[in-house]
Amino acid sequence: IFPPRHAMRMFRDSLVFFCRHVPNVNITSMGGFHIREAGATREQDLAFSMAIGAAYLQEGVKAGLEVDDFAPRFSFNAFGGSMEFFKEIAFHRAARRMWARVVKKAGAKNERSMLLRMASTAHCGRVNCSVQRPLNNLTRSIVGGIAAALAGGPPNCNPPFDEPLGLGWSLEAIQLSEDAARILQNEARLTEVMDPLAGSYYVESLTDEIENAAWAEFDKIQSLGGVVKAIENGYLQREVARSAYERQKRLEEGKDLIVGVNCYTGEGELEVQTARLVPHPYDEERRNNAEKVQIERLKEVKKGRDSKKVAELRKKLKAEAAREETNLFPTLIECVKAYATLQEICDTLREVFGEYQPAAL
What span, in angstroms and rounded, lies between the C-alpha atoms of 153 and 147? 9
pLDDT in tens, the chain (361 residues): 999 999 999 999 999 999 999 989 999 999 888 899 899 999 999 999 999 999 999 999 999 999 999 999 999 987 778 899 999 999 999 999 999 999 999 999 999 999 999 877 788 888 889 988 888 999 999 999 999 999 988 899 988 998 887 766 788 889 999 999 999 999 999 999 989 999 999 999 999 999 999 999 999 999 999 999 999 999 999 999 999 999 999 999 999 999 999 999 988 888 776 655 555 555 667 667 888 889 999 999 999 999 999 999 999 999 999 999 999 999 999 999 999 999 999 999 999 999 999 877 6
What span, in angstroms and rounded, lies between the C-alpha atoms of 52 and 42? 16
SS3 51: helix
SS3 293: helix
Provide the b/e sequence for 253-275 (b: ≥16 CB within 10 Å): eeebebbbebeeeeeeeeeeebe
The DSSP element (H or E) to which 276 belongs, if any, is: helix 274-277
pTM above threshold 0.95: no
Q: Number of C-alpha atoms within 13 angstroms, CB side, residue 221?
A: 31
226 C-beta neighbours (distance < 10 Å), count: 17
